[in-house]
Structure 1
Amino acid sequence: MYNNGDFARWRRHPWHGMAAHPGDDKGVVTGFIESLPGDTIKYELDKDSGYLMIDRAQRTTAAPPCLYGFIPRTYCAENVAARCAGTEEADGDPLDICVYSERDINRTDIILQAKVLGGIQMIDGGEADDKIIAVLDGDNVWGDIEDLAEMPSIIVERLQHYFSTYKQVPGKNPNINVDVVYGRDQALEVIAAAQADYDHHYGHLHA
């Protein structure tokens, strides 16, 4: 479907065309932003073209509490699922990332550098769907924080509430669990597992 020539001639594909880490520091990752705080339309990367598409208009009033996107060259498959007790599969998408910044960032379809703080182990319909939590690297307010434990607890609480309710509609209760929260070290292990899954399934694109 893809070849290296495509990447060289055209705009880099947000998922395949850039590295997960912008440099040698494994605690800083590249984030591609799909959605903004307050969005009631769910935007998602079209995996073939690399452009953002409208996945769906949310049926409820749920809206992400922060910047939301994914880490390039990651994929949630067998290695990610193996880290999540009670699951045998992952959601088959790039690894999601939630990014906080003191300043408003009011556009999507951008890349940024984010410092990893931790994550939420989300299980959606029996599939592992981890959410990495990070802050904008060098942020004037949040930039000195090193671990999720240093963030106000309400930050994690709001994320848990959003991800546990954003698929709810009257009469239906989605099978979602977001009880497990982890810090920086485990988040880096999840990212490494998602990179290993990407290399296994899509490494041929970069041969």
Structure 2
Amino acid sequence: MLKISNRLCSFAQSNRYFASNAATLSKLNEEGKEGTFEFRVKYYRDGQHQISPWHEVPLVHSNNKRTLYNYINEMPKNSNAKMEVNTKELLNPIKQDIKKGQLRYIKHGNLLFNYGCLPQTWENPKLVDHRTKHPGDNDPIDVVEVGQQVIGRGEIKQVKVIGALALIDEGETDWKVLAINTDDSNFDKINDLKDLEKVLPGTVDKVREWYKVYKVAEGKQENEYALNGQPIDHAETEGVISETHQHWKDLTKGNTKLVLE
């Protein structure tokens, strides 16, 4: 196990931002054998300098008529290995989650959508979200990418935010941001929740139901939702993202601390 000082030292690198374009990432490298404890997806700049995708990939890609965010895809659509940007390991590679000494797979079944997170965000477990009345889950904010493509593990895409669902997972706020990536054929057609329902009917219902019941197969209770399970619109979602970005800033400046489990 890494020492706590090593686990947190990547925070000190948070000011070593590369240019505000994720394309400057010149290498994405998988190390170790997939399906083992050693497997990692690591990010590099200039082909040799490993960087933290959580801390060094900018949150905002561009901010013109509509903000586009950089999105880190952790789990491709149709997969079930629970992969995540590991916030407690040096330089935060993507690795498979471990529970009770075993690699974690989602027993409910394969994902219906691409799944990942927004860099430079953090849901603070020491602060109660004023919308949900529950504290954060100690992770970057989650994204459910609803496009038709299968996005590769570790890929960074630019996405437009559509809305969000306020999942309460074991007593913690676990926002699920709905977004669509710029390469998707429906990108220009979907700008808000009404468009999403028109172009891809039932998408919000499918996401809401999936995250409500997906842990039942693990012997746990169904998850709940704040806000009566209703999604917030893209404008309010961007407010949530802004807040979690500020929480991340507080974390990297040492104003608060990551909870090490």
TM-score, normalised with respect to structure 2: 0.69
In structure 2, the partner of 1:44 is 84
1:15–1:72: 8 Å Cα contact kept in structure 2? yes
Task: Tell me if 1:165 matches 2:213.
Answer: yes
Residue type of the partner of 2:63?
D
Q: 1:78, 1:172 → 2: CA distance?
A: 21
Structure 1 unpaired stretches of 5+ = none
**Residue 33 of structure 1: CA displacement?**
0.4
**Residue 41 of structure 1: CA displacement?**
1.2
Q: 2:15, 2:250 → 1: CA distance?
A: 21
| Equivalent residue in structure 2 for 1:181, among 222, 226, 231 | 231
Q: 1:172, 1:92 → 2: CA distance?
A: 20
In structure 2, the partner of 1:92 is 138
**Residue 59 of structure 1: CA displacement?**
5.5
**Residue 24 of structure 1: CA displacement?**
2.3
Of 195-204 and 91-100, more deviation after overlay is shown by: 195-204
Q: 2:238, 2:138 → 1: CA distance?
A: 19
Residues 86-130 of structure 1: per-residue CA shift (max 9 Å, x gap): 32x11010011111223333x211101001111111111221110
In structure 1, the partner of 2:95 is 53
Of 171-180 and 32-41, more deviation after overlay is shown by: 171-180
**Residue 35 of structure 1: CA displacement?**
0.3
| Cα distance, 1:180–1:81 mapped onto 2, change above 3 Å | farther
Task: Tell me if 1:82 matches 2:122.
Answer: no
Moved >6 Å (runs of 4+): none
Q: How does 1:117-156 map to 2 (within 5 A)?
A: 117-152=162-197, 153-156=201-204
**Residue 131 of structure 1: CA displacement?**
0.8
Q: 2:133, 2:150 → 1: CA distance?
A: 38
2:71–2:159: 8 Å Cα contact kept in structure 1? yes
Of 75-84 and 134-143, more deviation after overlay is shown by: 75-84
| Cα distance, 1:83–1:14 mapped onto 2, change above 3 Å | same
**Residue 38 of structure 1: CA displacement?**
1.5
Of 78-87 and 175-184, more deviation after overlay is shown by: 78-87
Of 63-72 and 172-181, more deviation after overlay is shown by: 172-181
Q: 2:210, 2:168 → 1: CA distance?
A: 14
Q: 1:140, 1:163 → 2: CA distance?
A: 26
- Aligned-pair Cα RMSD in Å: 2.6
Q: Secondary structure at the match of 2:188?
A: coil
Q: 2:182, 2:112 → 1: CA distance?
A: 18
2:14–2:56: 8 Å Cα contact kept in structure 1? no
Task: Tell me if 1:70 matches 2:117.
Answer: yes
Task: Tell me if 1:4 matches 2:13.
Answer: yes
Q: 1:31, 1:58 → 2: CA distance?
A: 22
Q: 1:156, 1:79 → 2: CA distance?
A: 29
1:125–1:174: 8 Å Cα contact kept in structure 2? no
TM-score, normalised with respect to structure 1: 0.86
Q: 1:103, 1:170 → 2: CA distance?
A: 28
In structure 2, the partner of 1:101 is 147
Residues 36-58 of structure 1: per-residue CA shift (max 9 Å, x gap): 11212111112223222111433
Q: 2:240, 2:13 → 1: CA distance?
A: 27
**Residue 63 of structure 1: CA displacement?**
2.4
Q: Secondary structure at the match of 2:190?
A: coil
